Amino acid sequence: MIERKQVLHVAKLARLRLSDEEVEKMAGELSGILGHVDRIGELELDEVPPTSHVVELENALRPDEPRPSWPQEDVLGQAPDPADGAFRVPSPQAEA
Amino acid sequence: MMGGLLELSVAAAAGRIAAGEVSRAEYFEAWRAAAAGDELNAYLWKAEDGTAGGDGPLAGIPVAVKDLFCTEGVATTAGSRILEGHRPLYTATAVRRLHEAGAGVLGKTNMDEFAMGSSNENSAYGAVRNPWDHGRVPGGSSGGSAAAVAGGLAPCAIGTDTGGSIRQPASLCGIVGLKPTYGAISRYGMIAFASSLDQCGPLTRNVTDAALLLAAMQGRDACDSTSVGIEGGVEAPSRENLEGLRFAVPAELAHDAIEPGVRAVFEATLKRIEELGGEIAEVSLPHAEHGISAYYVIAPAEASSNLARYDGVRYGMRIEAEGDVIEMYEATRAAGFGDEVKRRIMLGTYALSSGYYDAYYGRAQRVRTKIAEDYAAAFDRFDFVVTPTSPSVAFELGAKTDDPLAMYMNDFFTVPMSLAGIPAISIPAGLAEPDGGGPQLPVGFQIAAPAFAEQRLLDAAYALEQAIGFDAEPGGSGG
């Protein structure tokens, strides 16, 4: 069972702001989904190696040759608030 | 005359164009006009002209492209508000390869936000309607691509499949959908959902067209280190029977919740396989039933990491907030993401968080190993594993939106192949009444094969397709 406090903690980790209503709903929904997922807890898996990737791959390397990159103005043109050749954001130390 | 052009398969149209019997402009214009009549909300953007590419095997063919693929200078939203107005600086490799083969982008198709969904109801730009019944879902997440092809708004389309997002909508819309082996097609420029599972593939009116698109898109790409391509390439399928081929039916199917109509079509298709000379036997895939559990830990975990990039700084939208940069991130993500995306980010973040990592993410990765081993063992004895693609025909809009777990169960038959990384195709096998009655709707038949056995898979699917002779078309009732 996921409690309200846990939802708020995870939301903080995920940088998501949830309304009170969303927190309540999320607690119920996550509990339901994880209740189903918990059935894999019954399987004997201690000796089983984990799979992070299914296809056997070796390092895929390319020649280390310089190539032109995108123009700075094109990249900054995608940003909501570009300024002085950079991405502008609110101060990390805004007055409380 | 126009109607005639639209009825041609991609293979036939490409042949007519190559022979000079039909001009590229005429063919593209016919499809542009058809796409302009979109009443399904299948398209998020439509091309004004046919900027077709080279003189390759797809010369002059318009393709509907899921809005998850970056297209240079053309709005790419992934179905999300958070990418509203985003115009990528580059084009995805899969789309570029289609272009090099001569194809042009006809439009960008609607989808569940960030490919998270099985009904296309999670799009920030409105639900897509199923061309067979406008009151029902087309499936998802590549619902716009499937609806466009089934609804006569595109000759072919591409989508992406993470846990069934090509196969399930293809099934619900009565067309062919192929999820290739993980690594067959480059993921470069495909907006990431779950990177160890995401794979691009075609949605088409027949198996031959699927092979044509796969042949053009597959291959190694320096921009995606996990792309390896299909050795020997892909050719048009030509097999006429199934003699000498062994098809396995999972024993666990017997007690799973499948609509009676879907089960009847599935069993009739097994008979067809036998008539074509194929052998059918039961196989046990004991861990397949845990696929949903493993998938709904692994995919959200990867998604929570991939979607961390949407923070209102470099692209997309931003919501200004009182306070510091963290407040801005939280306000932007709260307004930019829809409910399902938030749910998966929360689920994934929880599964990866300290104290729960081993119990959820670690265990899910071990279950993934067991599922892949089940399939490997089955393929020691069999050429293919077959199942219904979806436990039900297309369901009504809104039927499952309040029950996330019920929605996830739509992926029951498609998720295991994604976890195992193997190719699987859905072909239309017949029609069935939905539970509760109503007009008949398409039923898909899924065939899975070992990794990189796409040619064998397409050949068998082609032989079965010819024998089934599925020629029903949507009536567009209830619109």
Confidence bin at A94 (pLDDT 50/70/90) = low
Checking if the pLDDT of B478 tops 60, the result is no
* Per-residue model confidence as pLDDT tens digits over A13-51: 999 999 999 999 999 999 999 999 999 999 999 999 999
Tell me, what's the pLDDT at B254? Answer: 74
Distance from CA of B406 to the nearest CA of A (A): 10
- In this structure, which long-range contacts are made by residues A29-34, counting pairs with CB atoms below 8 Å and at least 24 apart in sequence? A29/B343, A29/B404, A30/A2, A30/B343, A30/B346, A30/B347, A30/B350, A31/A1, A31/A2, A32/B404, A32/B405, A33/B296, A33/B347, A33/B404, A33/B405, A33/B408, A34/A2, A34/B347, A34/B350, A34/B360
Q: Of all residues in chain B, what percent carry a pLDDT higher than 70?
A: 97
Rounded CA gap, B136 and B172, in Å? 10
Asked if the C-beta of B405 comes within 8 angstroms of chain A's C-beta atoms, the answer is yes
Tell me, what's the pLDDT at B50? Answer: 67
Checking if the pLDDT of B477 tops 60, the result is no
Token readout for B308 is 């961390």
Distance from CA of B194 to the nearest CA of A (A): 11
Q: Find, among B441, B418, B438, the residue nearest to B429 by Cα.
A: B441
- Best residue of B220, B325, B350 to probe chain A, by most A CBs closer than 10 Å: B350
Asked if the C-beta of A57 comes within 8 angstroms of chain B's C-beta atoms, the answer is yes
DSSP string, B350-372: HHHSTTTTIIIIIHHHHHHHHHH
Q: Which residues of B touch A39 (CB under 8 A)?
A: 290, 293
- Strand-pairing partners, residue B141, are none
CATH architecture of B1-479: Alpha-Beta Complex (3.90)
B141 catalytic per annotation: yes
Average pLDDT of the segment spanning B81-93: 95
Active-site residue, selected from the candidate residues B118, B123, B141, B186: B141
B179 catalytic per annotation: no
Class of domain A1-41: mainly alpha
Checking if the pLDDT of B10 tops 50, the result is yes
Q: Which residues of B touch A17 (CB under 8 A)?
A: 330-331, 333-334
* Per-residue model confidence as pLDDT tens digits over B310-337: 999 999 999 998 899 999 999 999 999 9
Distance from CA of B402 to the nearest CA of A (A): 10
Average pLDDT of the segment spanning B66-77: 97
Q: Which residues does B429 contact at the CB level (< 8 Å), separation at least 6?
A: B265, B266, B268, B269, B443, B444, B445, B468, B470
* Per-residue model confidence as pLDDT tens digits over B134-184: 999 999 999 999 999 999 999 999 999 999 999 999 999 999 999 999 999
Complex ipTM value: 0.94
Query: Which residue among B89, B222, B345 sits closest to A62, beta carbon to beta carbon?
Result: B222
Tell me, what's the pLDDT at B255? Answer: 67
Please state the domain extents for chain B: 1-479
Report the C-alpha dihedral over residues B90, B96, B102, B105, rounded to 10 degrees.
-60
Checking if the pLDDT of B101 tops 50, the result is yes
Given an 8 Å threshold on Cβ–Cβ distance, is A37 in contact with B297? yes
Tell me, what's the pLDDT at A59? Answer: 73
Distance from CA of B295 to the nearest CA of A (A): 9
Decide: B69 and B94 in contact? Cβ < 8 Å.
Answer: yes
Confidence bin at B3 (pLDDT 50/70/90) = low
Given an 8 Å threshold on Cβ–Cβ distance, is B293 in contact with A90? no
Active-site residue, selected from the candidate residues B119, B142, B165, B418: B165
Q: Which residues of B touch A89 (CB under 8 A)?
A: 313, 325, 328
Tell me, what's the pLDDT at B48? Answer: 87
Asked if the C-beta of B328 comes within 8 angstroms of chain A's C-beta atoms, the answer is yes
Asked if the C-beta of B416 comes within 8 angstroms of chain A's C-beta atoms, the answer is no
Please state the domain extents for chain A: 1-41
Average pLDDT of the segment spanning B245-263: 89
* Per-residue model confidence as pLDDT tens digits over B116-136: 999 999 999 999 999 999 999
B119 catalytic per annotation: no
Given an 8 Å threshold on Cβ–Cβ distance, is A51 in contact with B369? yes
